[in-house]
A and B are shown apart, each in its own frame.
Chain A
Amino acid sequence: MHDVEALFEDMRGAIPAGPVKIKEAADSGKKVVGCYCAYTPFEVIRAAGAVPVSLCSTSDKPIAAGEEHLPRNLCPLIKSSYGFALTDTCPYFHFCDLVIGETTCDGKKKMYELLDRLRPTHVMQLPQTYFGADALNVWRAEIERLARRLEAELGVTITEDGLRREIKKRNEERRVMQDFYELSKPDPPLLSGRELHLVNEFFKVSFGDARAMDTIRELETKLRENWEAGERRVPAGRRRIVVTGCPTGKSLEKVFDAIEENGGVIVAFENCGGLKPNYEPADETLPPYEALAVKYLGIPCSCMSPNTKRLDLLETLAGEYKADGVVDIILQACHTYSVESFLVRERLTGGKRSVPYIPVETDYSQSDTEQLSTRMGAFMEMIA
């Protein structure tokens, strides 16, 4: 059992140590490419010999600075991302040579126009639907355009072999995460939601390092062994919660705590940073650009219209993870997730097995911790 604690401790330590790794990579001549969103095809960046890194976007701290250029009633994710860049307080942004953005929403695409002044920003024009051949063709062309930009910017050539190799590697990483997520299916789950989130965050700072993936595998094995030996990290009888909605991160841990301190346990994060970008691998039998286009365009983000795939996914997850309830985290002023919550509620509560649903609107400040606790507490009492 001590092994498990030690592994969690290592992971906890790896998160603040992430910037050091990237500094070392940059110092050794590696190119660093900053990313914000799950739509960025990491494989292309890696095939260009560069390291894709997730840029800071989930802290309250730089929002005031961001608001000097951006309107206040904009989603905190956008304000935070821009504020970090403006104040040069995101170490990953500091070291990156190029930033990749996508036109996932109005706020982001306009923010990237401003961000481009701080650091060269390549914006991928994301179609607004995953249905039809036209959208797929546009997205494949966009991925190829990204490849050309990377080649020009970094002075490299991206080969088909390189892409195939990176697709295979990224799929393997996705498989490790998928296997890990299985641990939350038994009742009680083998680990808490806070621990699961830690593993997701650790995965974010793994930077394609095979040893990091080994650590996740090792943790999985140890947790299984301990479970077999009778260890229960999560007490029985907790309400099983699937979390969905906007991307998660440090500042939203307040919601996870509100769930887990009031009798719930998070068994799955459907969000970006959790299951959503990783539950489908890229098809290794297809030509690489097509495989990537299909894979990435298929991510069921609320920016897609219609987004029935997310509703299907949530229904499936609620069944597979035997969810007692679904909590939808909506960042203030995120119109797409906010509007979509109507459909999510309808699908979840109106199905064969009605799954209780609650949307929570919040931002990155910690001022609503008490309100969140009341709301989550009441939700747990309701589904008890």
Chain B
Amino acid sequence: MIDIAFFLVFSAILFGIGMFGLITSKRGVVTLMSIELMLNSANINFVAFSTYTGNADGLVFVIFTIAIAAAEVAVGIALMLNAYKIQKTTDVDKLSTMRW
């Protein structure tokens, strides 16, 4: 059996990449992708711990997370499309009409 540390390190790296993308990128679509990466790194942790402890709760949680992530992406992309229609850009720094 593969040591759990490999799964945790992999998920941590994935989370770090997602976080890096979220902080550095100005592009809206990339931001959404980064969030997706971070969610999935959490999913990997769930699955890993669930398998190692033999408790199915984590697996159930992952199903929910995937479903919600799908919904979130649908909303997010719809937002980006509409933003692009109006502003002709998906640069989040420029979508500042409602900023103080």
| A and B part of one assembly | no
